[in-house]
Structure 1
Amino acid sequence: MNESDVADFLLAHPAFFERHAEVLGHIRLGNPHGGRAVSLPERQIAMFREKNGQLERRMGELVRYGHENDSHAVKFDRWSARLLATRHGADLPDAICDGLREIFDVPQAAVRLWGVDDTYAAHPAARFAGHDVARFTDGLGAPYCGANSGFAAAAWLAEGTDAPRTASIALVPLRAPHADSAHGAFGLLALGSPDPQRFHADLGTDFLARLGALAGAALSRMLAP
């Protein structure tokens, strides 16, 4: 018999150790946490404790994630209320960016729009972003997060401030409600931070996409008919 045969036999005959309880007292196993040998029941107890510790740590992580999600939901509601309370379209870009900085503690935020109504042609947010930026944004199917590798949007974040260099950046395409998700972008929301890990490449983008959807819906008021 080989080891697999022995394991299969014990699994197929769970009452073996009930009929031969004395065998348990003679089986000695190495202790993974020390040099001394322990009995099979002691080893099983240690394994159960380790698994229980892993489950407790996992449960702690889930609880922490739940608290973080609750906090994000509260902040999202506050930010949404601020946008809904903004009566004039010209005030929306500042309401969006100021809200992100104040409510979500985002160090840097800026918006650029194109195709706006003539009423808003002189608005700072409507300053020409460049055809390359417009094409890049139109091709974004989801927000981008990662290191600032010389994006043009990083220059917007530093305008009029003494903020340190943007190390990490999030770029969120803005589209009108019901627009083609693969095209039809009319603006770009840029978020930045001097912390290279704030918007790291492995960061989930679902929440950023929600921010972009709401910002896009609000800012669509500024578009040309």
Structure 2
Amino acid sequence: MKINADFSRRAVVAGDQYQWCASPQQGVERVMLDRLGEEKARATSIVRYAPSSHFPRHQHPGGEEILVLSGTFSDEDGHYPAGWYLRNPPGSSHQPFSDQGATIFVKLWQMDAADNCQARIDTRDPTSWQQGDGREICALYSGFGEQVNLQRLAAGERLFHTPLQGAELLVLEGELVSDAHTFCQGSWIRLPAGEYPEFIAGPLGVTLYLKIGRLGKTTLGF
């Protein structure tokens, strides 16, 4: 299966145009943002757990990255309400579930094989945020050719000031504007290398997830 699999092109899934499809596990459904492979795939998805749903224990040979968007996501290590960022390195395993229901942003099979970083970060904690480059930044990960963070921009502020080697973002709150397009909450955008001066925060500002670098790479060569 290939969805938005050409990383040399811009890919966009608007927040108001999600197409939900069932997963192999009852009570769990997803929006496939990009994908290379079948059930074992290099994939970026929005995943929704119904209340009292679960997934069987499984491994992540290529690693897993999660941002909890709503509800509470859980596994045997703890309970993670909206705003928590989880990073599980290659070779890790867990048995996820949600008692009250949850929606999460998930990236699979996209880490370097030598990456052994495990992270649990509460991005709702004010101490997780720092001022930098004229905006607020919550650093999540840096290493192996990628940087991941959350950013808060004031209205009208430009997102990118230098050329990119590729970037991926998810609008969490507010709006992001690019030329005549307005990207609302939930919008996902993947950008190839280049310059993107047109991206600015909307009239109420914007909060977004941002990953720079390592796009298209995987440990398994899908």
Instruction: Please say whether Structure 1 and Structure 2 have the same fold, judged by a TM-score greater than 0.5.
Output: no
The interval holding the TM-score normalised by the smaller chain is under 0.3
Larger relative CO (CA 8 A, sep 6+): 1 or 2?
2
Larger Rg: 1 or 2? 1
TM-score (norm 1): 0.26
